Amino acid sequence: MPSVTVENYLKRILLLSAGNGGLVSMGALAEALAVVPGTVTTMVKALAADGLVVHAPRRGVRLTAAGRRLALGVLRRHRLVETFLVNVLKMDWGAVNAEAEQLEHAISDAVLDRLDALLGHPSVDPHGDPIPGRQGQLPSQVYATLATCGLARALRVVRVTDQSMEFLQFAEKHGLRPGAAVRVTDRHLASGLVTLRRPGGRPLTLSLVAAGRILVEPER
């Protein structure tokens, strides 16, 4: 019963509220939703009137419990759909975000439950993004990134936090998907470069910014 627009706003607020204390600025929201800031102000006031968000004027917006519940539902649909598209339909993991952006609004609970069962109740999507549970549980473990981890340690990629097709295709090409073994051989702050090595692969150099988008955990 919430509109596609409302679902997109709520999901986006949820995703952006990770960084700050849950407060999302109008500007960041406008940018992410590709609308003009004035539009966001207007919509956020409407969402606040519906009890889905709290609007602190000139400071930002945060989800209420009800808003968060809805947002997690959308996110669950999004990530289960992505998992389906990759695992069952064998689509490219760089393409599925755009597809799921539409499908997340068209999947009923009945279909979602069947999909979830078909996929074996996965806990993460193809990018390693955690899939919220049916009751909205969202495990939020903190991981190191290739920009912050220790040097020379045996690591495993757990998540790639960049939805852009270019980055994902680049990562895929170099075997940097969740589960892949990797170790950082060198990190040079002045030049902003990180060098990695994958077992049986050529050394790979990328920027600190890019490295920061790849989350890792110590091997076993």
Q: Which is nearer to a copy of itself, 109 or 219 (CB)?
A: 109
- CA–CA dist 85, 104 (Å, integer): 12
When binding is defined by CB under 7 A, the residue of 15, 22, 32, 46 that contacts DNA is 46
Query: Which range, of 13-21, 28-36, 119-127, 212-220, touches DNA by CB under 7 A?
Result: 28-36
Q: Does 27 bind DNA (CB under 7 A)?
A: yes
When binding is defined by CB under 7 A, the residue of 5, 185, 195, 205 that contacts DNA is 5
Q: Which residues, 6+ apart, have CB-to-CB distance to 212 below 8 Å?
A: 145, 146, 147, 148
Q: Which is nearer to a copy of itself, 108 or 140 (CB)?
A: 108
Q: Which is nearer to DNA, 34 or 190 (CB)?
A: 34
Residues 168/162, Cβ–Cβ less than 8 Å: yes
| Helix 109-118 with 65-87: angle, nearest 10 deg | 50
Backbone φ, ψ for residue 187 (5° rounding) = -140, 120
Q: Does 210 bind DNA (CB under 7 A)?
A: no
Three-point CA angle 73, 95, 115, nearest 5°: 40
- CA–CA dist 122, 83 (Å, integer): 8
Q: Which is nearer to a copy of itself, 116 or 162 (CB)?
A: 116
When binding is defined by CB under 7 A, the residue of 19, 20, 42, 51 that contacts DNA is 42
Q: Does 58 bind DNA (CB under 7 A)?
A: yes
Q: How far is the CB of 105 from a copy of itself (least distance, A)?
A: 7
Q: Which two tokens stand for residue 85?
A: 């598209």
Q: How far is the CB of 49 from DNA (least distance, A)?
A: 9
- Find which of Mn ion, a copy of itself, DNA, none residue 91 binds, CB within 5 to 8 Å per kind: a copy of itself
Q: Which is nearer to DNA, 39 or 164 (CB)?
A: 39
- Find which of DNA, Mn ion, a copy of itself, none residue 85 binds, CB within 5 to 8 Å per kind: a copy of itself
When binding is defined by CB under 7 A, the residue of 18, 19, 39, 123 that contacts DNA is 39
Closest CA to 180 of 203, 201, 211, 151: 201
Three-point CA angle 46, 2, 128, nearest 5°: 110
Q: Which is nearer to Mn ion, 75 or 184 (CB)?
A: 75
Start-to-end CA span in the chain (Å): 44
